[in-house]
């Protein structure tokens, strides 16, 4: 009985699988067109050395244009901030936030005085501080232990010790251009974070983290303050350009259009070829067996 | 000819039409035939559909679907035809012996040696010409190979377009001002006017890093090269020329993405890990009257990987 039925089952499977596969591959091939990373097209924003806004003490307050607003947290939060700091941060950074813990070892931990609210906010709101392991080579993003207001309060207290910039950013993506953002990302960020934003290993156990789940304002904070080993990007990127980058990160990187169905981690043609080979050759082998089978 | 006639004629086995070997593999051939007809029919329909889709310029996926589906169905039908409707076999074909007889072979060898050898020996002139032709052909066919190596590099391997007073510009062509970068910042710079050129994008590309707010000396003898903490290094790895664009500001390392060479930014970019054999060449910097960055001269060494004449 089964002898006569098997070939028809195989035949029916192929009739279904064949067109479905060709359909999928056709859809895969017609995925969204890639942005050409043509460097000459990056012309958004204006030169910054002329548009950087400084206060009377010569500190950079903002980078010129209206795409991002930098706010210094209200000083009325400072009292709450100090108690939160003593509770959560002082065991390493010291009660004066100068990086000297109670045992008096100076230089053991970073001095936070004069860092600016954006830096403090980034480290707390990305969950990196309070540190899970203070001796780790690099802190990792995790669920934040303190909420937005608490982070602002701590930033307000540290800022009250020695006012500094940049303030906590709020980015407006309404006029941001995702295509310019992609080109700027390729130029400035992709070397470490990779063009798909997955991040990669760096020197001495450090790594560039993935950008897949970083909120927009934290991207701005990281660009403007350079947390950890990341360099800062200041006067060479206008606020318009930073907004373009943030738009690329929050759209193309965080919501990639994988029309074919498999993103494969954005690892590129090697991974895609490997999967194609595995599935394709496997299928061909099955067909080969079926063709060669004698009754 | 005469020897062929002596061979025994091949015995072709005659089989009756109802021999099981000649029956199709399928138990119910008429059903299989109908299934195959169906796949052929739908295959043809899809192929006609492909023509129609192409004619009306439909979406690419419809072209892929109809062409792929149509040819898949035709292929399945063909395979099924061959597999289920053709005689089952197996068939064995009798053949006569393939080798020539001993006499035939020795006669042929004798003919080659006696006649052929003599014919070739008599044409020394032609043989010489042919030899010369082949030799010259061998020589001239190397010409395109040599030419494809490109023009001789001459001095270009030793020099870039950086010179005394060249302004540093970013990718948009904007000059870099001393107030532009905060400490810990990095930007890729090019000689002014060449940021979009092949040369600018290749050999001239340079990373500009601000290490501090005071003048920075990366090595003895380079006292004036890093004004206000700005230092500039060639972006070409001295190993194989990859762009060294990964800057870790706490470790003060420039990392090459290709083979993980690491260069100490604060100490003349000497490599302290990886296959890079030499430090990255440093570009001496200065400011013009209004605070824009310029180069003092070309790089202190040839940029990029090593080459034959490099001392």
Are A78 and A22 found together in one domain? Answer: no
Judging contacts by C-beta atoms under 8 Å, the chain A residues touching residue B170 are 236
User: Does residue A19 surpass a pLDDT of 70?
Assistant: no
Evaluate whether residue B34 is within a structural domain.
yes
Nearest-angstrom CA–CA distance, B285 and B167: 10
Positive or negative CA dihedral for B38, B40, B41, B43? positive
Are B174 and B235 found together in one domain? Answer: yes
Instruction: Report which of B216, B210, B157, B208 is spatially closest to residue B187, judged by C-alpha positions.
Output: B208
Are B177 and B77 found together in one domain? Answer: no
Judging contacts by C-beta atoms under 8 Å, the chain B residues touching residue A40 are 196
Evaluate whether residue A247 is within a structural domain.
no
Judging contacts by C-beta atoms under 8 Å, the chain B residues touching residue A204 are 251, 253
Evaluate whether residue A47 is within a structural domain.
no
Instruction: Report which of A245, A182, A175 is spatially closest to residue A36, judged by C-alpha positions.
Output: A182
Say if A49 is an interface residue toward chain B (CB within 8 Å).
Answer: yes
Is residue A260 within 8 A of residue A24, CB to CB? The reply is yes
Evaluate whether residue A119 is within a structural domain.
yes
The domain of A20 spans: 2-32+261-292
How many domains are there within chain A?
2
User: Does residue A265 surpass a pLDDT of 70?
Assistant: no
| C-alpha to C-alpha distances, A172 to A42, A214, A244, B228, nearest whole angstrom | 19, 16, 10, 34
Instruction: Report which of B180, B207, B249 is spatially closest to residue A222, judged by C-alpha positions.
Output: B249
B301: enclosing H helix or E strand: none
Evaluate whether residue A144 is within a structural domain.
yes
Contact A192 B171 (CB under 8 A): no
3-state secondary structure at position B293: strand
Evaluate whether residue A152 is within a structural domain.
yes
Say if A206 is an interface residue toward chain B (CB within 8 Å).
Answer: yes
Tokens of residue B299, six digits: 């790089």
Nearest to A187 among B28, B39, B171 (CB): B171
Are B78 and B135 found together in one domain? Answer: no
Are A96 and A28 found together in one domain? Answer: no
3-state secondary structure at position B270: strand
Evaluate whether residue B197 is within a structural domain.
yes
Are B222 and B277 found together in one domain? Answer: yes
Residue labelled with tokens 């009798």: B94
Look at residue B243 in the predicted model and tell me its pLDDT. 92
| Domain finish residue from A149, A164, A179 | A164
Those residues whose C-beta lies under 8 Å from the C-beta of residue B50, and which sit 6 or more positions away, are: B63, B66, B67, B70
Contact A7 B83 (CB under 8 A): yes
Evaluate whether residue B2 is within a structural domain.
no
Contact A19 B179 (CB under 8 A): no
One digit per residue, the tens of pLDDT, for chain B of length 311 reads 445 555 555 555 566 767 777 788 888 889 999 999 999 999 999 999 999 999 998 888 999 999 999 999 999 999 999 888 888 777 777 777 788 889 999 998 888 888 766 666 677 788 889 999 999 999 999 998 888 888 887 778 888 999 999 999 988 888 888 888 888 889 999 999 898 888 888 899 999 999 998 899 998 999 999 999 999 999 999 999 999 989 998 899 999 988 999 999 999 999 999 999 999 999 999 999 988 999 999 999 999 998 887 76
pLDDT digits (tens, 9 = 90+) for A29-63: 444 333 333 333 333 333 444 456 666 766 666 67
- Residue A5 binned pLDDT confidence (cut-offs 50, 70, 90): low
Those residues whose C-beta lies under 8 Å from the C-beta of residue A220, and which sit 6 or more positions away, are: A68, A118, A169, A171, A242, A246
| Domain finish residue from A104, A136, A164 | A164
Are B186 and B287 found together in one domain? Answer: yes
- Residue A292 binned pLDDT confidence (cut-offs 50, 70, 90): confident
The domain of B190 spans: 161-295
Evaluate whether residue A104 is within a structural domain.
yes
Are B75 and B106 found together in one domain? Answer: no
Nearest-angstrom CA–CA distance, B3 and B146: 58
Are A79 and A15 found together in one domain? Answer: no
DSSP for A20-50 reads HHHHHHHHHHTPPPPPP--GGG---S--STT
Evaluate whether residue B305 is within a structural domain.
no
3-state secondary structure at position A211: coil
Instruction: Report which of B248, B220, B243, B223 is spatially closest to residue B233, judged by C-alpha positions.
Output: B243
Evaluate whether residue B247 is within a structural domain.
yes
Tokens of residue A205, six digits: 């156990």
Report ipTM for this prediction: 0.71
Burial class of residue A117 in the structure, from the number of CB atoms within 10 Å of its CB (0-12 exposed, 13-18 middle, 19+ buried): buried
Nearest to A236 among B187, B196, B249 (CB): B187
Nearest to B61 among A27, A52, A203 (CB): A27
Contact B180 A236 (CB under 8 A): yes
| Domain finish residue from A123, A143, A164 | A164
Are B184 and B273 found together in one domain? Answer: yes
pLDDT digits (tens, 9 = 90+) for B7-62: 555 555 566 767 777 788 888 889 999 999 999 999 999 999 999 999 998 888 99
Look at residue A49 in the predicted model and tell me its pLDDT. 45
How far does A136 lie from chain B, in Å, by closest CA? 14
* E strands in A195-269: 200-201, 207-208
Longest dimension (CA), chain B: 109
Nearest-angstrom CA–CA distance, A45 and A64: 10
> CATH no. for residue B204?
2.102.10.10
Evaluate whether residue B155 is within a structural domain.
no
> CATH no. for residue A140?
1.10.760.10
Are B60 and B128 found together in one domain? Answer: no
Evaluate whether residue A245 is within a structural domain.
no
Query: Which candidate in B21, B60, B69 is best for mutational testing of the A interface (most A CBs within 10 A)?
Result: B69
Phi first, then psi, for residue B254 (nearest 5°) are: -105, 125
Those residues whose C-beta lies under 8 Å from the C-beta of residue B299, and which sit 6 or more positions away, are: B160, B162, B234, B281, B282, B283
Look at residue A48 in the predicted model and tell me its pLDDT. 45
Are B212 and B264 found together in one domain? Answer: yes
Evaluate whether residue A246 is within a structural domain.
no
Query: Which candidate in B50, B83, B173 is best for mutational testing of the A interface (most A CBs within 10 A)?
Result: B83
How many domains are there within chain B?
3
Positive or negative CA dihedral for B173, B177, B182, B183? positive
**Dihedral-angle region of residue A141 (phi above 0 means left; psi in -120 to 50 means alpha; beta otherwise):** beta
């Amino acid at each position: 009985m089964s002898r006569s039925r098997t070939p028809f089952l195989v035949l029916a499977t192929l009739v279904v699988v064949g067109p479905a596969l060709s359909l999928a591959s056709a859809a895969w091939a017609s995925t969204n067109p890639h942005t050409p990373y043509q460097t000459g097209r990056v012309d958004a924003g204006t030169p910054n050395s002329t548009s950087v806004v400084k206060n009377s003490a010569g500190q950079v307050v903002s980078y010129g244009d209206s795409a991002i607003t930098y706010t210094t947290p209200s000083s009325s939060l400072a009292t709450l901030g100090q108690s939160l700091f003593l509770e959560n941060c002082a065991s390493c950074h010291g009660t004066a936030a100068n990086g000297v813990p109670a045992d008096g070892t100076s230089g053991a931990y970073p001095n936070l005085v004069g860092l600016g609210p954006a830096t403090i906010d980034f480290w707390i709101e990305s969950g990196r501080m309070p540190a899970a392991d203070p001796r780790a080579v690099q802190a990792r993003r995790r669920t934040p232990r303190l909420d937005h207001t608490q982070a602002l309060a701590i930033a307000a207290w540290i800022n009250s010790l020695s006012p500094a910039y940049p303030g906590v950013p709020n980015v407006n993506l309404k006029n941001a251009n995702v295509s310019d953002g992609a080109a700027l990302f390729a130029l400035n960020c992709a070397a470490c974070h990779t063009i798909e934003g997955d991040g990669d290993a760096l020197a001495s156990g450090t790594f560039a983290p993935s950008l897949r789940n970083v909120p927009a304002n934290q991207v701005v904070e990281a660009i403007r303050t350079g947390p950890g080993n990341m360099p800062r990007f200041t006067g060479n990127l206008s606020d318009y350009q930073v907004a373009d980058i943030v738009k690329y990160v929050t759209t193309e990187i965080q919501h990639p259009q994988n029309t074919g169905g498999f993103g494969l981690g954005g690892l590129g043609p090697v991974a895609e070829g490997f999967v194609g080979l595995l599935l394709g050759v496997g299928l061909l082998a099955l067909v080969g067996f079926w063709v060669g089978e004698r009754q | 000819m005469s020897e062929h006639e002596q061979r025994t004629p091949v015995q072709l086995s005659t089989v009756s039409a109802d021999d099981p070997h000649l029956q199709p593999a399928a138990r119910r051939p008429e059903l299989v035939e109908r299934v195959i007809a169906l796949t052929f029919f739908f295959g043809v329909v899809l192929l006609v559909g492909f023509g129609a889709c192409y004619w009306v310029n439909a979406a690419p996926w419809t072209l892929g679907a109809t062409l792929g589906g149509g040819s898949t169905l035709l292929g399945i039908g063909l395979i099924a035809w061959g597999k289920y409707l053709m005689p089952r076999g197996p068939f064995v074909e009798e053949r006569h012996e393939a080798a020539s007889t001993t006499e035939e072979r020795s006669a042929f060898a004798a003919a080659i040696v006696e006649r052929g050898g003599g014919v070739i020996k008599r044409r020394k002139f032609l043989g010489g010409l042919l030899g010369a032709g082949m030799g010259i052909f061998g020589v001239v066919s190397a010409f395109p190979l040599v030419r494809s190596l490109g023009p001789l590099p001459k001095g270009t391997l030793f020099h870039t377009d950086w010179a005394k007073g060249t302004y540093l510009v970013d990718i948009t062509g904007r000059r870099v001002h001393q107030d532009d970068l905060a400490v810990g910042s990095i930007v890729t710079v090019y000689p002014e006017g060449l940021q979009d050129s092949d040369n600018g994008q290749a050999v001239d590309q340079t990373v500009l890093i601000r290490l501090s707010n005071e003048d920075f000396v990366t090595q003895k003898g380079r006292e004036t090269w890093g004004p206000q903490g700005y230092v500039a290094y060639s972006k070409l790895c001295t190993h194989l020329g990859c762009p060294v664009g990964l800057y870790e500001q706490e470790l003060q390392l420039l990392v090459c993405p290709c083979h993980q060479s690491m260069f100490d930014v604060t100490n003349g970019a000497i490599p302290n890990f990886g296959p890079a054999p030499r430090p990255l060449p440093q570009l001496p910097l200065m400011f013009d009257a209004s605070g824009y960055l310029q180069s003092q001269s070309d790089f202190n060494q040839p940029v990029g990987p090593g080459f034959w004449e490099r001392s």
